[in-house]
Amino acid sequence: MSKTKLPASKEEWFFENYKQDAVFEFGPVEVEEEEVLKFARRYDPQPFHIDPEAAKKSPYKGLIASGWQTCAYVMRELVEHYFSPVSSLGSPGIDELRWILPVRPGDKLMVRATIIETKLSRSKPDRGIVRTFIEAINQQQEVVMSFKSVNFMLCRKKT
């Protein structure tokens, strides 16, 4: 699979621009320790996320980011680089979320989006459905997280 370039302006991107088998990569996003601690204290206060000393004694042998924080990093990249503000209509959900490897402070994450299916909506002809396989990849080229997303995108208006 080869990487695909986004159009010059994502503001001009509609359902028709999402092509099956296209692959996009974004990032890197650096995982900072203070962000890991702050996020975990608020949303996922498990010892291996909030206490560096306790984390050393955990099966992870050190501090790791919450999987939910990794999801948030990925979402930010998708919003900034993949979903067009003029055509994105949101999502009914994701499937097959997997946290494969721990994400640690200092990691640099890339996001890879591979379009696995596109189809026009039968009930609403002004939009289509885009299914995408999303991966977060660390600096060692290891996949640390993956999921399949379903997104609704407006079609370009016919003139």
Residue type, 146: S
Distances (CA, A) of 114 to 82, 135, 146: 11, 9, 11
Summary mean pLDDT of the chain: 92
Number of domains in the chain: 1
- Distances from the Cα of 137 to the Cα of 17, 56, 95, 111, 130, angstroms: 25, 23, 18, 6, 22
Tokens 């696995």 sit on residue: 116
pLDDT for residue 158: 67
4 falls within a domain: no
Does the pLDDT at position 11 exceed 50? yes
Q: Give the pLDDT score at 36.
A: 98
Q: What is the pTM of this model?
A: 0.90
In a domain, 3, yes or no: no
- Whole-number pLDDT of residue 1: 45
Give Cβ neighbours of residue 149 (< 8 Å, ≥ 6 apart). 78, 91, 94, 95, 131, 132, 134
Q: Is residue 5 part of a domain?
A: no
Residue at 1 is within a domain = no
Q: What is the pLDDT of residues 28-49, one digit of tens each?
A: 999 999 999 999 999 999 999 9
Residue 5 has pLDDT above 60, yes or no: no
DSSP SS3 for 57 = coil
Rounded to an integer, the average pLDDT of 23-30 is: 95
Q: What is the pLDDT confidence band of residue 4, given thresholds at 50, 70 and 90?
A: low
Task: Label residue 106 by pLDDT band (50, 70, 90).
Answer: very high
Domain membership of residue 143 as a residue range: 10-154
**CATH number reported for the structural domain that contains residue 39 in this entry:** 3.10.129.10
- 2 part of a folded domain: no
Return phi, psi of residue 7, to 5°: -60, 165
Would the pLDDT of 133 be above 80?
yes
